[in-house]
Structure 1
Amino acid sequence: MSLEIRSLEIRIAASTDADAACTVLRRSITECCDLDHKNDPAILDAWLGNKTPQMVANWFNSPTNFSLVAVSEGVVVGVALLTGAGKLALCYLLPEARGQGVGKALLARMEEQACSWGVKALQLHSTATGQEFFARRGYVDAGKVRSPYGVETVFFWKQLDAGAEAPDGGKRKRFCNCNPV
């Protein structure tokens, strides 16, 4: 199946988006993350176990989360969730929406939100499938961590505050309009 993204709207997710967002999560995990789950039914069952419309609606409604959906021509094609602690907990796309800038747009908006909250560094656990995507966007690989559902993930982080010193003593490039504290 092919989907050409002609128009893209990134907006705050509402509980009414939960069914469509749940479909994005489940399809992305099942169809795109085979490097991670290796079609093992036990791993898939564990990973998909909390990916229900009710649970997604709960995540969207939580006052400690910031959730976004990417919508193209009325169809939810991506979903992302940032916790108040500065963890990117979700960033998933429909399989046919990959490679068209949707993930980049969601991630950029999440980084902006983290900056607006005063988060100094964003962190996430990436699948093997998403590893290259995050590395290309300046995220630093800090090692492997096994997920509760049995998949080895890569712990990534990215410095967000503009005043942070780079390891070589120079100043990091500023990528958002955060105010250094």
Structure 2
Amino acid sequence: MSLEIRIAASTDAEAACNVLRRSIKECCELDHKNDPAILDAWLGNKTPQMVANWFSSPTNYSLVALSEGVVVGVALLTGAGKLALCYLLPEVRRQGIGKALLTKMEEQACGWGVKALQLHSTASGKDFFAQRGYTDAGKVRSPYGVETVFFWKQLDEDATCPNAPKRKKFCNCNTA
């Protein structure tokens, strides 16, 4: 398998939209429970035009993962340090592609000086983020009716930001 991860272009929007829609429908059944109302709400803004708008926003950093030239994954980081998207086609899960996308997103956040990355995970993705050092901060209901898990990860002291300035620890000792 040849894997390429690159910045998403507006021409990737249709393929990326397909990744989002298939991943949500096929991989997130624990979350939507095949409820048509929840699926309609969740998928409502997952259109090629909307995805193209997300990709073109100057405050977002968007990546696509390609295998054999086909878009198989998509991730989006906001300038505020929120991982808004990290989705894969069902057939490429557990091949390291999600981990590669997440690593690139963490590197970008570090480059922007973001101190902590945050995200809302589905039940389906919960273990993935927990295994990568993200802290479970509790459940939050999404606008489309799915209970998500709020995760965060400190970046400035993590190995993901090797060039980040180290914070000085406060010492209240007398050095005479």
Tell me the TM-score normalised to structure 2 length.
0.93
Deviation at 1:177, TM superposition (A): 2.2
**Which residue does 1:174 correspond to in 2?**
159
Q: Residues of 2 paired with 1:100 and 1:47: CA distance?
A: 26
Q: Does residue 73 of the first structure (1) align with residue 58 of the second (2)?
A: no
**Which residue does 1:61 correspond to in 2?**
56
Q: Residues of 2 paired with 1:142 and 1:178: CA distance?
A: 27
Q: Does residue 150 of the first structure (1) align with residue 145 of the second (2)?
A: yes
Deviation at 1:179, TM superposition (A): 1.8
Letter in 2 for 1:17: D
Q: Residues of 2 paired with 1:8 and 1:65: CA distance?
A: 23
Paired residue secondary structure (2:125): helix
Letter in 2 for 1:176: C
**Which residue does 1:16 correspond to in 2?**
11
Q: Residues of 2 paired with 1:33 and 1:178: CA distance?
A: 36
Letter in 2 for 1:52: T
- Which runs of 4 or more aligned residues in structure 1 lie more than 3 Å from their structure 2 counterparts after TM superposition? none
**Which residue does 1:170 correspond to in 2?**
none
Q: Residues of 1 paired with 2:44 and 2:95: CA distance?
A: 29
Letter in 2 for 1:93: L
Letter in 2 for 1:55: M
Q: State which structure, 1 or 2, has the greater radius of gyration over its C-alpha atoms.
A: 2
**Which residue does 2:171 correspond to in 1?**
none
Paired residue secondary structure (1:91): strand
Count of residues in Structure 1 that have an aligned counterpart in Structure 2: 166
Per-residue deviation, residues 32-86 of structure 1 (Å, max 9, x unmatched): 0000000000000000000000000000000000000000111000000000000
Alignment of 1:13-52 (within 5 A): 13-52=8-47
Alignment gaps of 5+ in structure 2? 167-176
Deviation at 1:124, TM superposition (A): 0.1
Check whether the contact 1:118–1:178 (CA below 8 A) recurs between aligned residues.
no
Deviation at 1:178, TM superposition (A): 3.3
Q: Pick from 143, 156, 161 the counterpart of residue 161 of structure 1.
A: 156
Deviation at 1:175, TM superposition (A): 3.0
Q: Residues of 2 paired with 1:41 and 1:107: CA distance?
A: 30
Q: Residues of 2 paired with 1:79 and 1:20: CA distance?
A: 9
Check whether the contact 2:106–2:160 (CA below 8 A) recurs between aligned residues.
no
Tell me the TM-score normalised to structure 1 length.
0.90
